Amino acid sequence: MLDLCMQNGKIGNLLVRSMGGVFTRIGRFKVRAREYYFEVVLSQHKCPSCGGRLRMTDQSRCSCSCGNTFDPTVVFQKSGCCGAGLIQKTFHYACSKCHKIVPSRFLFDERAFDKEYFREMMRSSRRRAKERREEIRRLLAESRSGSLPLLEKPDLASIPGLIEDLNDFIQQNATDIADFAFDTAPRFRMDEYREHILSILGWSGMLFSNMAPLIREYRRDKIWRFMTLIYMQQDCEVDITQYGNDLLVQKVHHEVDR
C-alpha cells in the first residue's frame, strides 16, 4: 500500500500541504515571541518625556502614548567596553567612544538598518545621475556641427578612384556572403532584460545576487543584467546602492520624489 501511494505521489502532496501549515504556525509563534520579548525588555524602561509605558512600533523604534518616538538602543543602552552611549552606523550600533560594534538588545532577529542613510544615498545618486545627464546634453550641444548646405549635386567621379573602390568592395562582400558563418550565440536584448527586471523587482527592493537569470549562461546573463540596470538607473527607473559585497536594487518612487 505504501509503495502504491508513493507511486501515485500522494505522500509527496500530503507532505507539501502539511509543511505549509507548519510554516504558518512557526510564523505566528515568531510574531508572539517577538512581541513578548519586547514587552519584557521595554518593561525595564519608561518614556523620557512623561514616564509612560513604551511599546515597539517599528524596527529600532519605540513609542509612547504621549507621542514621543525614538530609538531605544541609542537612548537606553550603554556599551560594555566604555560604558558610553551607542551610535547607529549603517548596519550596526557602535560605542560612541571606541567605536567597537555592540549588539543591540532592542533588535529581535532583525539587522540594524539606517533607513535615513539609504534615503540620502538614493537622493545623492539621483542628483548625480541628473547632473551627468545635463552635462552630457551640454557637451553634445556644444559639439554639434553646423548645417552643411549643398550648393550642387554630389559627383562621385570628382574623387579619383572612388567608384572603382566601391565596386570592388561590393563585389568582394557578395562573394563572402556564401561563406559567412552565422553566430548562434544568444543576442543581448536590453528590452527583454528590462521587462524581466521590472517583473521581479518589488517596491521593497532586491539584491542583485537574488535576481533570477533570464538565460542559462549565468556569467553572460550576469553581465547583461548589470548593463541593463546601469541604463535603467540612468533613466531613473531604478536606484542601485552598494550593499556590502552586493548591490541593492530598488524601484524609483517618482510620486514620492515629486
Residue 248: beta bridge partners? 207, 241
Residue-wise pLDDT tens digits, 184-221: 567 888 999 999 999 888 777 888 888 989 888 888 89
Dist. CA 209–CA 248, nearest whole Å: 9
Q: For 36-142, where are the E strands, in sequence order?
A: 54-58, 61-64, 69-70, 86-88, 93-95, 101-102
Dist. CA 152–CA 113, nearest whole Å: 69
- Assess contact for 75 and 61: CB atoms under 8 A: no
Strand pairing class (93-95; 101-102): antiparallel
Delineate the domains of the chain, giving CATH numbers in brackets.
115-139+188-258 (1.10.10)
Q: Other C-beta atoms within 10 Å of 219: how many?
A: 8
Residue-wise pLDDT tens digits, 142-179: 777 666 676 777 677 777 888 888 887 777 655 555 55
Residue 24: beta bridge partners? none
Residue 61: beta bridge partners? 58
The pLDDT of residue 30 is above 60: yes
- Assess contact for 228 and 114: CB atoms under 8 A: no
The pLDDT of residue 132 is above 90: no
Cell numbers that stand for 81 in this block = 567596553
pLDDT at residue 106, rounded to an integer: 86
Residue 247: pLDDT band by 50, 70, 90 thresholds?
Answer: confident
Axis crossing angle, helix 218-234 with helix 115-143, rounded to the nearest 10: 80
By mean pLDDT, which of 71-80, 81-90, 140-149 is the weakest? 140-149
Residue 46: pLDDT band by 50, 70, 90 thresholds?
Answer: very high
Residue 256: pLDDT band by 50, 70, 90 thresholds?
Answer: very low
Q: What is the mean pLDDT of residues 5-12?
A: 49
